[in-house]
Amino acid sequence: RNRIIVPIFNENRNIIYFQARRIPNTMLDPKYDNPIAPKELCILNRHRFDITKSIIVHEGLIDAFMVGDQGTSCLGKEISEDLLIELLKLTDKDVIIALDNDSEAYKALARFMKKNKYARKVKYFLYPDQFRGNDDINSIVRSEEQGINVYEMITQNSVSYSTAYTKLSILKLLKRGNRNENNSNRK
């Protein structure tokens, strides 16, 4: 009740997972009420992927829908090796990780880059300067009056492991420097 149910189908069109998301502006907790079931290989749009195009992995289903047939979701911030292995089999191009634009997502991305043995085989979407204030892909789409080709925007702003790792490290250092500066100004 008061939730939007988004099913995930397999190639036989059977429901294999669903996400129950609270309707905006309702006070339901938690935000998501999902089944207690393995979700690692619940691949949204699996039967729609064009093998000649990149597959773009998002945290949530709504962002994945914004990309169209090439969008999928890890259903959270953590990306499993099993999911990545499957996705790499489903494209001749790239798998691109496009998490939300918040500190928790960047922390999850840093963990993924350090621990996942497939981290160097994928690309990473880094939000362009003009969209730095946006929380996620959905908010970019809603803010653009002219409309935007989300797939093209993400693929054109995706970088290699080494570039993403360097940029994330610099951002972390800058935040640490700002925190230290703010602390010294308070004394």
Cis, bond preceding 30 (omega within 30 deg of 0): yes
> What pLDDT, in 10s, does the model give residues 81-117?
999 999 999 999 999 999 999 989 989 998 999 999 9
Q: How far is it, in rounded angstroms, from Cα 90 to Cα 181?
A: 47
Is 54 inside a domain boundary? yes
Cα atoms found within 13 Å of the Cα of residue 38, Cβ hemisphere only: 5
| pLDDT value of residue 170 | 87
Three-state secondary-structure class, residue 47: helix
- Please state, in angstroms and as integers, the Cα–Cα distance from residue 76 to each residue in 34, 39, 172, 182, 185, following that order: 11, 10, 22, 32, 37
CATH number at residue 76: 3.40.1360.10
Domain-embedded: residue 16: no
pLDDT band at 184 (very low <50, low <70, confident <90, very high): low
Average pLDDT over residues 18-27: 88
168 with 109: CB under 8 angstroms?
yes
Say how far apart CA 99 and CA 156 lie, in whole Å: 16
Neighbours of 179 (CB within 10 A): 10
| Residue 7 counted as domain residue | no
Domain that holds residue 90: 38-161
- Tokens 């669903």, located at residue: 18
Quote the number of domains for the chain. Answer: 1
Is there a domain that residue 117 lies in?
A: yes
**The whole model's pTM is what?**
0.87
Distance CA 42, CA 75 (A): 9
pLDDT for res 57: 98
Q: For residue 68, is it within any domain? A: yes
Q: Is residue 114 part of a domain?
A: yes
Determine the Cα angle at 110 with ends 148 and 21, to 5°: 55
CA dist 2 to 7, 65, 77, 149, Å?
Answer: 16, 21, 24, 31
Q: Is residue 28 part of a domain?
A: no
> Per the domain annotation, does 84 fall within a domain?
yes
Rounded Cα–Cα distance for residues 49 and 149 (Å): 17
Residue 70: name the closest of 158, 151, 156, 140 by CA: 151
